[in-house]
Structure 1
Amino acid sequence: MSKAKLTTVEGRPVLRIERRLAHPPKKVWRAVTEPEHLSRWYPFTVTELDLRLGGKIRFDDGQGSTLEAVVTELEPQRRFAFSTNAPAGTSRESDDLVRFELQPLDAGCLLVFTHVFDDRYGAASYASGWQVCLDALEAVVDDRPVEAGYPVAEMHDAYVERFGLDSGTVSETADGWLVRFERQLTRPVETVWAVLGGQTPPRGPQVGGPVPQAFTSDEVASGTVTSVKAPALLEYEWQSRGRAAGRVRWELSSGTGHGARLVLTQTGPNELAAERSRALKVWKARIAALAEQLRGLPR
């Protein structure tokens, strides 16, 4: 089983997965274009598929919503691609593009799958999810029962590291600098909040009160909580030489739907520019430890 590769084309992330299948293109083509077969392994149920250029595709996500797509490439038994519309009210900037290419190979074929999207920090989630889906596709063409699967946390986090999504960035601000990390996690917002100590009795963290230890690091002296909105946000002062030097902010949102999306930032003044390197190292390690802790929880 080949691993997913992540590249960038025209500024957009692109996942590419190759899979050798022991069946000719004709049989695999049915699995990727006929609704009754596609629905057995694709993330959503296909309720309509007009197999022509410009044809409409409709998916049912099983949660009361319908997703729409348009066929953008079609060459029977060779290429099939469609763009999925960005749902109203989401942060997606443009349509995703899903593409299947079948190349004859000995008695079987090579499936080249690509997914073009915008959310780079969701790449590990997509990669691990598509691996599970393509395992199910292989079962369909093998005429085997399709077992219900879900991306395992270990696979997800391995892709986070493989794609370099565990590294932070540094930017300049009007008052100094900002270190930023963004990471897709493998458990829901409420679970992550609880693991971080956000439900510390009796009322959880309060403005002006102490910061729960899990939100801190021994190498970054913490002051008091400056803002909290359970279970989505906690911000506090960090200190240098006993004085407030900036803010550390943890924010949790729904991410790709496979778990919480964490955005962690630390700000600081220009006179403490040397602290930027420390912040990059400290918070990368702290987030990695959190991800490991989440992997150990029962699903």
Structure 2
Amino acid sequence: MTDNPASVIDEGTYTVRRTIRIAAPIEAVWRAATEPEHISRWFGRTVLDGAGPGAQGTMTFPDYGAVPIRVEAMDAPHTVSYRWGNDDALGRLPDAVDEETSTVFTFTLETVTDGTQLTVVETGFELTSDPAENMASHGEGWVSELDKLVALLEGARGAEGAA
């Protein structure tokens, strides 16, 4: 499996960023980052009411519960942005994204010699009740979740129809 660096937390801009490389074609990484059935294989169980900007639904994690999520923007196969709830929204708005406390994460994909480079940037932590704690938690989360994505896609290399 490709060894990738950890997330970078920028307290001045309230962002978390992580750039990884995946030995898989951009089309496979795009599907894994945008199609609910593929997202559910490496991230949280994802259900959306449609495709493209404006689609909304939930992402459910076993020990955490359901998190509201909405597709904000999409430029296939290079960028997709999602707005999602965080700890501040738990128990308050289970079926909708809370504009006042949500964060936005954007996946940017680029074809490179050995596959695809994916950068995630999550912003909006200044809107949360504990920005430093939330950035630290999400920084660790992006390491865990994106490492699962790398393992899934690199393990599926050569398999027809892989994520």
TM-score by length of 2: 0.74
Q: Per-residue deviation at 1:81?
A: 0.8
1:5 matched residue in structure 2: 8
Gaps of 5+ in 2: 94-98, 157-163
2:68 matched residue in structure 1: 68
Q: Per-residue deviation at 1:40?
A: 1.6
Q: Deviation per CA, 1:90-120, whole angstroms, max 9, x where unpaired?
A: 9x95111111000111241110011222322
Percent identical? 24
SS in 2 for 1:51: coil
Gaps of 5+ in 1: 145-299
Contact 1:57 1:71 (C-alpha < 8 Å) held by counterparts: no
Contact 2:59 2:67 (C-alpha < 8 Å) held by counterparts: yes
Q: Per-residue deviation at 1:57?
A: 2.9
1:99 matched residue in structure 2: 106
In structure 2, what is the Cα distance between the partners aligned to 1:106 and 1:49? 36
Alignment CA distance shift 1:14-1:105 (3 Å)? same
Higher relative contact order structure (alpha carbons within 8 Å, sequence separation ≥ 6): 2
Q: Deviation per CA, 1:230-259, whole angstroms, max 9, x where unpaired?
A: xxxxxxxxxxxxxxxxxxxxxxxxxxxxxx
Q: Per-residue deviation at 1:64?
A: 8.6
Contact 1:37 1:140 (C-alpha < 8 Å) held by counterparts: no
Matching residue's letter, 1:127: G
In structure 2, what is the Cα distance between the partners aligned to 1:136 and 1:108? 16
Alignment CA distance shift 1:45-1:106 (3 Å)? same
Structure 1 vs Structure 2 CA RMSD = 2.5
Q: Per-residue deviation at 1:49?
A: 5.3
In structure 2, what is the Cα distance between the partners aligned to 1:130 and 1:111? 12
SS in 1 for 2:155: coil
Alignment of 1:40-59 (within 5 A): 40-42=41-43, 44-48=44-48, 50-59=50-59
Number of residue pairs the alignment of both structures matches: 140
